Amino acid sequence: MEWVALLMFAVVVMVLLVGYPVAFSLGGTALIFAWLGILLGSFDSAFLGTMPNRVFGIMSNETLMAVPLFVFMGITLERAQIAESLLDSLSHLFGRLRGGLGISVTIVGMLLAASTGIVGATVVTMGLLSLPTMLRRGYDPSVATGAICASGTLGQIIPPSIILVLLGDVLSSAYSQSQLDQGIFSPDTVSVGDLFVGALIPGITLVGLYITYLLVLAFFKPNTMPAYLDTEKVDFKEIIFALAPPLMLILAVLGSIIAGLATPTEAAGVGAVGALLLALFKKHFSLKKLVEVMESTVRVSSMVFLILLGASVFSLVFRGYGGDSLVHELLLSLPGGVFGAMLVVMLLMFFLGFVLDFIEITFVVVPIVGPILLSMGIDPIWLGVMIAINLQTSFLTPPFGFALFYLRGVAPESVATTDIYRGVMPFVAIQLFALTVIAFVPELATWLPSIIYGG
């Protein structure tokens, strides 16, 4: 009956492609398969009896409490138009350089991605703010859209972000399970903070590669990114006042986690309060906007946790049919050992990224393959960083990348879809290069956590 589990997985993907909500697709499909299995005597209903314990575990999980706090922080900064003031200030600073506006967009995208951690929100915000300006200043549409999409997806890998929080929590459980399966009853642990620290060097390296590409392109093809002849004098005081608050907020959140002064949940609370204080200093941030922020936070958080509940039902039924054992056997039988298993899992996640969001992949796929890969001796921090960059690449890759659809929705009609596809291809190549380097040099992800935490 193990193959029934794979059939169930295929049915879920098809139901999602039809357009049904993710949480109900996961939970509903699993319950239908479980009901049929009970009728046919091929499924033990005792598996579903453990669901209340799982729900209580989700409710009492302190790490997951960071999700609504980080969401509140990101939406507050977005509604307070922090990104708009950042972009204006950096445009004055770099505008006289060829490609300067592209560099500004990349840096602001990085900061916004670190604040929100939600790819859709970052791409849409940057598309609305910067794309009209870039086109008006003579930027090639493909270069402008490529830079916006690429910088928007940095929320996958730049900490702190809700995506890394969710992935860190799932990998923590998978790491504990893999050690228990090996007979290790006092297992090592991996935390969200470990993943934050591990993602720092790869994330900053990606930003550096993006900026390097834009500078090289501006040098060899200056017509694609003309300099902006800004006659206004650069006001460094204004730039500092625009950059300092969000930078200090992000550093306070990350610094408190790295220094061991706060857990990710406590640091998320600091970030939420800090974002609210920054917003209150903005004259146009009103009580009405605060209500909108809270409503948006509830909607996003509810979506995340509803998907988590649906994924919990799905994983229970999947294991009830022996799907985890089948996946374990399939991965172990692949040629190439650990390398072969890792390659197949990365390819699977890459293609699933065309049809599933990061949250679904984190809650559905990672709990299935994570314990198996980790039991092969793979470092959990390295695995988490590889998954994040891999899915970031998937979200950028034409023709199905989510980031491309988000930008297409807000881009003017004068920008062709082919311009967007052509613009992101160099950034996809950069992503694949970075992924390959980290695959062969795992220390890029594991060195900093080992130095800070002595692991």
Query: DSSP letter at 233?
Result: P
Q: What is the pLDDT along the chain (455 residues), one digit of tens a residue?
A: 678 888 888 888 888 778 788 788 888 998 999 999 888 888 888 888 888 888 888 888 787 888 888 888 878 877 777 777 777 777 777 767 788 888 888 888 887 776 666 666 678 778 887 888 888 888 899 999 999 989 888 878 888 777 888 888 889 888 888 887 777 766 677 888 889 899 999 999 999 999 999 999 988 988 888 876 555 666 677 778 777 887 888 788 888 887 778 888 888 888 889 888 888 887 767 888 889 889 988 988 888 888 888 888 888 888 888 887 888 888 888 888 889 999 999 998 898 888 777 877 888 888 888 888 988 889 999 999 999 999 889 888 887 787 888 888 888 888 888 899 999 999 999 999 999 999 999 999 999 988 887 65
Residue 120 sits in which domain range? Answer: 2-453
The pTM of this model reads 0.84
118: left (phi over 0), alpha (psi -120 to 50) or beta: beta
CA distance 323 to 2: 5
How buried is 440 (Cβ within 10 angstroms: 0-12 exposed, 13-18 middle, 19+ buried)?
A: exposed
| 10 burial level (CB within 10 Å; 0-12, 13-18, 19+) | exposed
Number of domains in the chain: 1
Nearest to 104 by CA among 236, 242, 211: 211
Tokens of 422: 């052509």
List, in sequence order, the alpha helices (H) in 95-161.
100-116, 119-136, 141-152
Cα Dmax for the chain? 78
The per-residue pLDDT for 119 is 65
Q: Is the link from the previous residue into 160 a cis peptide, with omega within 30 of 0?
A: yes
DSSP of 358-425, one letter per residue?
Answer: HHHHHHHTHHHHHHHHHHTT--HHHHHHHHHHHHHHHHHSTTT-HHHHHHHHHS-TTS-HHHHHHHHH
Distance between CA atoms of residues 379 and 185, nearest Å? 18
Neighbouring CB atoms inside 10 A of 355's CB total 15
Per DSSP, the three-state class of 336 is coil
